[in-house]
Chains A and B, each alone.
Chain A
Amino acid sequence: MRNVLLTAACAATLATGAFAQEITLGRFFGACEDAGTDTTTSTGEACIIQSIINAADAELDGISINTLPTDWGNYYDQIKAAYAGGTPPDVHVMHRHRIPEFAGLGALAEISGDLEAAGIDPDDWSPAALEAVTYNGGIYGVPMDFHANLWHVNMEIMAEAGLVEDGKPVLPSSPEELLAHAQQVKEATGKDYLAADFAQFPIGVRVVLALIWQQGANIFTEDGTATINTEAGRNAVTAITQLFDAGLADPQLNYADSQQAFLNGEAAILVNGTWVVDFYTAEAAKEEVGLDDYYVADFPTLFDTGATWADSHMWAIPSTLDGEKKAAALKVLAFINDHNIDWARTGHMAVRKSVVESDAYRSLPHRDEYTGTAAIAKDTPPSQRYGAIQDVLNRELQAIWLTGKPVEDALDDAELEVQDLLDR
């Protein structure tokens, strides 16, 4: 395999001429074989991003792009190790929540002065997108999307349970209603109301966070005090655990299994991100897949105000890059920025005003069903310990629903540990 890659890399170098700038690119999103260079027909995050990268490699004169093999789960560990070893990729994707950590240490290049020359117009970014890549007054990346938690709905099951009105799903507006709807679905169809990855990746954490935010609370304050074992925290957790206790949802499903349960038509609702909308649309169209009538809804408001977990993907370049290499890296960022509409096909929300207002964007499948999400998008306060804090919450919440740890104890422990992390 390595030989094949090396040969391919050599061949590519020869083909593009000895003067080509080689740009190394680090990304997550998973692998896509044979993505091609057609950015308008690929499906799913991995293939869409790879087709954009391949197109950039083919169309940008004098630039060849080498996509580094990286893995989802260990992405930031790999990137960090690369920075620490002095060999970071020339261009890499990251989440907005990591900016405090990376930009705070001087790892990322501040590029506000370079955007225009590279053909990127920051005025076309929505204010929220600009804010997402801004840190201490500087711009540290090119935003690519907003993504958020949605409710993916199986309309057939909802209809059977009498939870459809005017072609739209009827979603709960309080924890009590959530339980009632779930019972309604169980009685009418024998199926689970809600599925999500409560057992592996922090999707369950994001659900609970959203419910905490909906009560106007947060898990820690801007000045670094953890506030987790609060009434808001307990309300948020019990809104979910009441479903597990009543046997109306299964906390033991991981990401792949919960997705499979939804696609098999075994659950009415799947809580998952914007990144799977085009994939589920494609699956629902298939004959052999249990899910037939697919709908996408905004995360419902169970408490006072709307809120759903959200984040942004963005592209950054290391501060150590300069000269022609930096110019070439910026061209790659500009190319990705130009293909914002293609990326939006995944289901993510676009960052460019010109794209959001275009007909092509508005007519994307299911796009009109979750227009409310942008307004309720939210995340925890910025912290250099984001990854570790998410991990603490994931562990303690899993302890509640997978091992029966009392809610009070788990939230208490989570608060102690998050405080430890904030104090370090």
Chain B
Amino acid sequence: MQNPRKPASRLSQTQAAWILLAPFLFTYGLFLIYPFFRGFWISLHDWNLLAVAFNPDAKQFVGLRNYERVMWGRNIEWGPLAAPFWQLLGIAGLAVSVLLRGTKRLSRFNAIALGVASVLVIILPGFHPGEEGRWYDRRFWPTVANTIVFVGLAVPGVTISALLLAAALNRETRAMGALRTLFFLSQVLSVTVVTLIWQIMFSPRQGLIANITETFGGTPINWLTDEQFAMAAIVIATIWWSLGIAMILFLAGLQDISKDIYEAAALDNAKGARAFWYVTLPNLKRTVTLVVVLQIILHFQVFGQSHLMTQGGPNDTTQVLVRYIYQTGFRDSELGRASAMAVFLFVIMGTFSVIQFIVGREKT
């Protein structure tokens, strides 16, 4: 029996696709695309949050001046050895990428990625204020550096501990199921609860950590107010908090690895740690990349841990980008400047999203 309806009354595939996509596109446009362009628009203005609320004409178009005021300074110079450590590291990285690519031990994509990163490490730290010069905003770049340090510590921390936990918990027993739930539980807590728990843990007077140190005869560390430990403290809290999702992703990846491979490896005398290194890790490569890139994007947006546990202190050592944006926008009412910083953050995260997109399409 053929379809009784006339073909003309049916929607073409393209039309149907558009209709089905419309609700998504509308929401996406309204809540993501529009706010993004509006944010960019605001960043081109001298825009006081309160003043504009009471008088819409109180804003003033200033072009790119907010960007200049945030990122640039007076008499900024570039020197090939202004920051020797970073710049030499960059040169070393560049050399390694050329060498490994030349001997075909690095894929083309990885070589280019390492090369680009190295060139950035050579160029960016080279900028510094010359004589009589200074940055217009002395806090911006140190804040960016703090954010990068945070990401650099939190991402490997989360990835490695989640991977080890997942490997240990990847068994079909009831106890392991219970433990998996337990480790995932921290993820469902809100940042306020997490930071509250860890503030108590880190307290030098009533905290668990201080009590343990004292039992062994040590003097307790003032984690949150000591320059050397404050960043470590918020990283530890973050790892504890965001372990869950990474662990679940790894568990899913682990369950995709065929048992046959392990059996074959066992015949070649690869068990335990050797099996983990030679069988598990290579098979998890894509999951690891996914987890790392997701975590990088996530942790660049760190805010609550720094805002609630250390208030950015001591001496700005835990001041991070989103907190600076928040303070500039709301405490100081300088929405234009804050938006300029937010656009900068968008560029960083956008870069990593593109990397993830490319890596995701690469054939393994």
Contacts and interface: CB of A to CB of B under 8 A. Distances in A.
Contacts, number: 91
B354 interface: no
A77 B331 contact: yes
A76 B50 CA distance: 12
Interface in A9-40: none
A418 to B, nearest CB: 12
Contact of A405 (B203, B204, B315): B315
B50 A399 contact: no
B129 to A, nearest CB: 12
A86 B53 contact: yes
A391 B312 CA distance: 11
B326 interface: yes
B157 interface: no
A252 B226 contact: yes
Contacts of A403: 227, 314-315, 317
Contact of B204 (A102, A200, A257): A257
Q: Which 5 A-B pairs have the closest CB atoms?
A: A399-B315, A77-B330, A199-B225, A252-B222, A84-B53
Contacts of B225: 199-200, 252-254, 402
A413 interface: yes
Nearest to B48: A105
A106 B311 contact: no
A200 B48 CA distance: 28
Interface of A: 73, 76-77, 80-81, 83-86, 101-102, 105-107, 199-200, 252-254, 256-257, 260-261, 385, 387-388, 391, 394-396, 398-399, 402-403, 405, 413, 416-417, 424
A6 to B, nearest CB: 20
A401 B225 CA distance: 11
A398 B314 contact: yes
7 contacts: A76-B330, A80-B333, A253-B222, A261-B205, A396-B315, A399-B315, A416-B134
Given A388-B331, A417-B138, A199 B314 contact: yes
A195 B46 CA distance: 43
Given A388-B331, A402-B226, A84 B311 contact: no
B263 interface: no
Contacts of A395: 313, 315-316
B51 interface: yes
Contact of B50 (A73, A83, A387): A83
A392 to B, nearest CB: 9
B224 interface: yes
Chain A binding surface SS class? helix
A424 B317 CA distance: 25
B216 interface: no
B315 A402 contact: yes
Nearest to B326: A77
Given A86-B53, A252-B226, A395-B313, A76 B331 contact: yes
A207 to B, nearest CB: 17
A86 B55 CA distance: 12
Nearest to A197: B225
A105 B50 contact: yes
Given A260-B205, A387-B331, A413-B138, A105 B51 contact: yes
Interface in B217-260: 222, 224-227
Contacts of A256: 203
B49 interface: yes
B54 interface: yes
A80 B334 CA distance: 12
Contacts of B214: none
A141 B53 CA distance: 21
Contacts of A257: 203-205
Contacts of B204: 252, 257
A199 B186 CA distance: 29
B49 A80 contact: yes
B68 interface: no
B77 interface: no
Given A388-B331, A405-B315, A80 B138 contact: no
Interface in B181-222: 203-206, 222
Max chain A Cβ within 10 angstroms of own Cβ: one of B138, B225, B332: B225
A402 B330 contact: no
Contacts of A107: 50, 54
A424 B311 CA distance: 24
Given A80-B330, A387-B332, A388-B331, A199 B50 contact: no
Nearest to B333: A80
B226 A200 contact: no
B50 A80 contact: yes
Nearest to A86: B53
